[in-house]
């Protein structure tokens, strides 16, 4: 083995000497301590000199970790160690509510949490892993001499953006507030809407390094206890190092983690989360992610929007029919075009066949190749419009589609019919209310294209049967994915393809098997009196 000679710079030597001195100081403090308390590495032991060296050699080596010694009259002449993180801890709260009272108190350290330290959340810790985790989260630690526990004071300051309008689930009518990234604010937003003491939050921590806080919200007495227990059990089994967000957690706890169909819905709207809580579902909040998760979620839940419950019933019903038609166009229209022009032309009327084949006579590519080419063009335009700044994305999306569509037809690469087919297909995909389901239907559309190019109409029928069987076999937290179609639940059809008037809807959907689904006991209004008959009666 060849070792290259290198000369250390004076700055590097000084840095190594400083680290070595820090390590030696820590060892000097811990060697006598370990002889007295062998479990001092995991269990807190009140030896403040060793504690200081341990913090200074670990987290304290970072410039944002503040370690401060103060003289407290009750502990004099020994000092008290205060540890906090600059930026995560509220410095004004640390100075006014912790250090200032300690400098004046004569009470013993055992009573500081109840009688001296004034912030609302104060508790004691004795395990080193929890102590360091509390410090990393922004809490302030108070180490007192001869006290076998550490006071952990909640001085976390939350830096958050203002509550804004929804960006991906826009509606014309209804509330316009969305969740932000702070989980405490998310809880407050739900409590502000649901003034019910039965609204409960079960909080747990996920991640061995990032330590992301996750909360499960549900209405006790409405949500099925088995659903809540299943959700908590799956979350507790999540074992990741970090980078916890709503999408990642949903992929780890859902019923079919390898399926392209999402079985947990995400939303950024507060009103949608509240509506599902009232229906007996659970809402999973993830700190650092403005999207919350709703479980269980059937396929029909991904097509229900907040505007469906803010508009008139007839308008909502019409829009839902349009979504169904758009789904048919998006999944089947390109495949049917390929099958009828390339594999089964005998099923096309003669007049339409002549027009189609006439346009294809001088083209170099088959209809299947044209469709694949236009799919790539549409996806490239969509990705470019998504990545560009908002002021430019609208322009590039509109102008690019017009220029490319016109240019490829004039150049003789594709036929005008395929432009019409792919334009309707792309617009149909944009009608899906929930973004994660758009990618699913694009994959299904691609599979339909491939099968139709080989087997034609027969392939489309076989693919449809396979897709139906696959969806009927799927579940979301034990709930059938195609509910209320399979199994058939006629009571839930009042809010399925159409939405009936509010007076006829007496209960929430039975998808989540709630303990109490009734929410509307308003008596049906009687017909207004006939004014003409009333006047005749007076005469």
Q: CB–CB of 441/328 below 8 Å?
A: no
Look at residue 2 and tell me whether its pLDDT is greater than 60: no
Sign, Cα dihedral of 440, 443, 445, 448: negative
308 close to 509: Cβ distance less than 8 angstroms: no
448-465 mean pLDDT: 93
Averaged pLDDT for residues 426-438: 85
Looking at residue 536, its pLDDT comes to: 52
Instruction: Evaluate if residue 357 carries a pLDDT over 70.
Output: no
Place of tokens 């706890």: 253
d(CA 496, CA 485): 9
Model confidence at 526, pLDDT cuts 50, 70, 90, reads low
pLDDT at 95 over 70: yes
Dig out the tokens for 237 from the structure. 């089994």
Higher pLDDT, 222 or 352: 222
Please give the pLDDT value at position 489.
87
**What is the pLDDT, as a whole number, of residue 83?**
93
Say if residues 126 and 69 touch (Cβ distance below 8 Å): no
Of how many residues is the chain composed?
Answer: 539
pLDDT average, residue stretch 87-102: 89
Average pLDDT on 305-334 reads: 90
Predicted pLDDT at 3: 43
Contact of 79 with 146, CB cutoff 8 Å: no
Whether the full predicted model's pTM is greater than 0.85, yes or no, is: no
DSSP string of 156-217, one letter each residue: B----PPP---SSS--SSS---B--S-HHHHHHHHHHH---TTEEEEEEEE-SSS-EEEEEE
Q: How many CB atoms lie within 10 A of CB 356?
A: 19
Residue 229 in this model has a pLDDT that exceeds 90: yes
Per-residue b or e along 402-426, where b marks 16 or more CB atoms closer than 10 Å to that residue's CB: eebbeebeeeebbbebbbebbeebb
Poorest-confidence range of 49-53, 83-87, 302-306, 474-478?
A: 49-53
Q: Is the pLDDT of residue 1 over 50?
A: no
User: Mean of the per-residue pLDDT values for the chain?
Assistant: 84
**Sign of the four-CA dihedral 187, 188, 189, 193:** positive
Task: Pick the most confident of 375-379, 411-415, 484-488.
Answer: 484-488
Q: Is 508 left (phi over 0), alpha (psi -120 to 50) or beta?
A: beta
257-296 residue pLDDT tens: 999 999 999 999 999 999 999 999 999 999 989 999 999 9
Greater pLDDT, 317 or 436: 317
Of the two residues 486 and 160, the one the predictor is more confident about is: 486
Domain boundaries, the chain: 10-153, 183-304, 313-482
Task: Give the model's pLDDT for residue 169.
Answer: 85
User: Which of 235 and 244 is assigned the larger pLDDT?
Assistant: 235
Query: Taking Cα atoms as reference points, which of 276, 216, 202 lies closest to residue 246?
Result: 216
pLDDT at 121: 86
Q: How many CB atoms lie within 10 A of CB 95?
A: 10
Choice among 8-22, 147-161, 277-291 with the minimum mean pLDDT? 8-22
3-class DSSP string for 210-269: CCEEEEEEEECCCCCHHHHHHHHHHHHCCCCCCCCCHHHHHHHHCCCCCCCCCCCEEECE
Predicted confidence at residue 4, as pLDDT, reads 47
Q: How many CB atoms within 10 Å of residue 117?
A: 19
User: Does 451 score more than 90 pLDDT?
Assistant: yes
Where is average pLDDT lowest: 101-115, 134-148, 351-365? 351-365
361 backbone dihedrals φ, ψ, rounded to 5°: -60, -40
pLDDT at 410 over 80: no
């Amino acid at each position: 083995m060849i070792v290259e000679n290198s000369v250390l710079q004076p700055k590097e030597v000084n840095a190594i000497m400083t680290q070595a001195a820090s390590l030696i100081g820590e060892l000097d403090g811990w060697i006598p301590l370990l002889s007295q308390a062998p479990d001092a590495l995991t269990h807190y032991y009140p030896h403040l000199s060793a504690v200081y060296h341990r913090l200074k050699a670990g987290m304290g080596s970072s410039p944002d970790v503040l370690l401060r010694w103060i003289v407290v009259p009750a502990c004099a002449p020994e000092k008290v160690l205060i540890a906090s993180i600059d930026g995560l801890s509220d410095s004004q709260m640390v100075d006014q509510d912790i250090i200032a009272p300690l400098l004046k108190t004569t009470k013993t350290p055992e009573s500081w949490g109840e009688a001296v330290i004034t912030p609302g959340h104060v508790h004691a810790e004795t395990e080193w892993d929890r102590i360091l985790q509390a410090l990393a989260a922004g809490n302030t630690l108070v180490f007192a001499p001869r006290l076998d526990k550490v006071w952990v004071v909640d001085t976390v300051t939350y830096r958050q953006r203002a509550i804004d309008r929804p960006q991906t689930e826009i509606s014309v009518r209804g509330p316009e507030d969305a969740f932000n990234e702070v989980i405490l604010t998310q809880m407050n937003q739900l409590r502000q809407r649901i003034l019910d003491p039965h609204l409960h939050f079960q909080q747990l921590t996920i991640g061995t390094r990032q330590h992301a806080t996750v909360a499960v919200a549900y209405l006790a007495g409405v949500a099925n206890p088995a659903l809540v227990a299943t959700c908590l059990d799956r979350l507790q089994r999540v074992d990741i190092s970090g980078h916890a967000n709503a999408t990642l957690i949903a992929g780890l706890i859902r019923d079919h983690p390898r399926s392209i169909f999402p079985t947990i819905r995400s939303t950024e709207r507060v009103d949608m989360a509240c509506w599902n809580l009232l229906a007996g579902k659970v809402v999973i909040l993830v700190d650092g992610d403005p999207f919350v998760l709703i479980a269980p979620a059937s396929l029909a839940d991904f097509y229900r929007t907040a505007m469906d419950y803010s508009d008139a019933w007839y308008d909502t019903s019409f829009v839902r029919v349009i979504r169904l038609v758009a789904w048919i166009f998006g999944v089947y229209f390109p495949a049917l075009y390929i099958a009828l022009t390339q594999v089964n032309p005998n099923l096309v009327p003669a007049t339409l066949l002549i027009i189609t084949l006439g346009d294809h006579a001088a083209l170099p590519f088959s209809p299947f190749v044209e469709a694949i080419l236009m799919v790539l063009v549409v996806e490239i335009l969509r990705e470019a419009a998504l990545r560009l700044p908002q002021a430019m994305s609208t322009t590039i999306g509109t102008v690019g589609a017009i220029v490319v569509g016109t240019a490829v037809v004039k150049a003789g690469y594709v036929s005008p019919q395929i432009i019409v087919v792919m334009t309707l297909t792309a617009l149909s995909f944009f009608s899906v209310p929930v973004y994660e389901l758009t990618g699913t239907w694009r994959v299904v559309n691609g599979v339909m294209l491939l099968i139709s190019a080989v087997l034609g109409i027969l392939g489309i029928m076989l693919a449809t049967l396979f897709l139906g069987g696959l969806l009927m076999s799927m579940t979301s937290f034990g709930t059938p994915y195609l509910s209320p179609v399979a199994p058939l639940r006629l009571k839930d059809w009042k809010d399925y393809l159409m939405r009936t008037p509010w007076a006829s809807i007496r209960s929430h959907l039975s998808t989540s098997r709630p303990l109490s689904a009734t929410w509307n006991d308003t008596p049906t209004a009687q017909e207004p009196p006939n004014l003409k008959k009333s006047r005749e009666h007076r005469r």
